[in-house]
Structure 1
Amino acid sequence: MILEDILAHILTKYKVAPENIFVKHPGVSVFRHKISKKWFALLLSVKVEKIKYDDVDFDGTITLLNLKLPPGLIVLLTDNKTFLPAYHMNKRHWISINLDSPQINKGLVYDLIKQSFDLSLKEQEI
């Protein structure tokens, strides 16, 4: 499954495990740099009706991976199916990837995780 593959990829490549830092929302996990604690990814499950995007054709709950990306890339990727305006984040700098989408491309997601990791990296961590 794509979710398990992504979790394993982040742990193996970046040595970062998901952290559940929100007491009221135990199903929300963040991935952050070890020194600066800056986030590069956020994993959460969301009820489709909370997203409010007409083109999303899923019922129930979907799993989202929020990543920080360059604004121009966000504009190019956003399709309101697989790539959504960021849920609960700055929509100019973050995007939500619908991990339940049948069109998901694991290789592309890995590339986007790297971009998010690099964008959020501070000089002291290089």
Structure 2
Amino acid sequence: MISREEVFEFIKENYNVKPDYPWKIYSNYAALRHNDNKKWFGLVMNITEDKLGLAEDEEIDILNLKVRKEFIGPLRKRGGIYPAYHMDKSNWVSINLNEVNSINHIKDLIAESYELTT
């Protein structure tokens, strides 16, 4: 399990990006944007597990990332990676941070999302 804070620290160190919180009603949803073009490359949200199709209704943190279309299918076969919640499912995935053991397991996906949204 990794925390949203670990994700934010990794992104700050590697991309000089801090999360912003654009919605008052969803005050814990954090957008991760490029400093220059302001496009999102990630979104951290706290949702209930059932929104990912899981049997429980515990609250979890997820990270939405953009990925290449050709990798969507294979990625969804990996543990902890699901069709994107509240985003275009043909271009984005949701990662359940409770199912990720280390930031090292997702740093390449973060880099790809950053690159795809430049």
The answer for the alignment partner of 1:83 in structure 2 is 81
How far has the Cα of 1:59 moved from its partner? 4.3
Per-residue deviation at 1:11?
0.5
CA distance in 2 between counterparts of 1:92 and 1:72 reads: 9
TM-score (norm 2): 0.90
Counterpart residue identity of residue 18, structure 2:
A
Q: What number of residue pairs does the alignment pair up?
A: 117
- Structure 1 CA distance, aligned partners of 2:44 and 2:90? 18
In structure 2, distance between residues paired with 1:89 and 1:104: 24
Maintained 8 Å contact 2:2/2:102: no
Letter aligned with residue 88 of structure 2: N
2:108 matches 1:108: no
Structure 1 position 23, deviation (Å): 1.4
Q: 1:1-126 residue pairs with structure 2 within 5 A?
A: 2-3=2-3, 4-51=5-52, 53=53, 56=54, 58-79=56-77, 81-101=79-99, 103-121=100-118
Q: Structure 1, unaligned stretches of length 5 or more? A: 122-126
Greater relative CO (CA pairs within 8 A, separation 6+): 2
Q: CA deviation at 1:57?
A: 5.3
C-alpha spacing 1:86/1:39, structure 2 compared with 1 (3 Å): same
Distance change in 2, residues 1:9/1:18 (3 Å): same
Identify unmatched segments of 5+ residues in structure 2.
none
Could you give the per-residue CA deviations for residues 12-62 of structure 1, whole angstroms, max 9, x where no partner exists? 1100001000111101000001121100000001012233x2xx3554111
Secondary structure in 1 matching 2:98: coil
Radius of gyration: which is bigger? 1
Q: Provide, for residues 37-96 of structure 1, a one-character-per-residue CA deviation record: whole Å limited to 9, x for no partner.
A: 100000001012233x2xx35541111000000011111110385000000000000000
Q: Deviating runs (4+, > 4 A) in structure 1?
A: none
The whole-number CA distance in structure 1 between the counterparts of 2:59 and 2:79 is 14
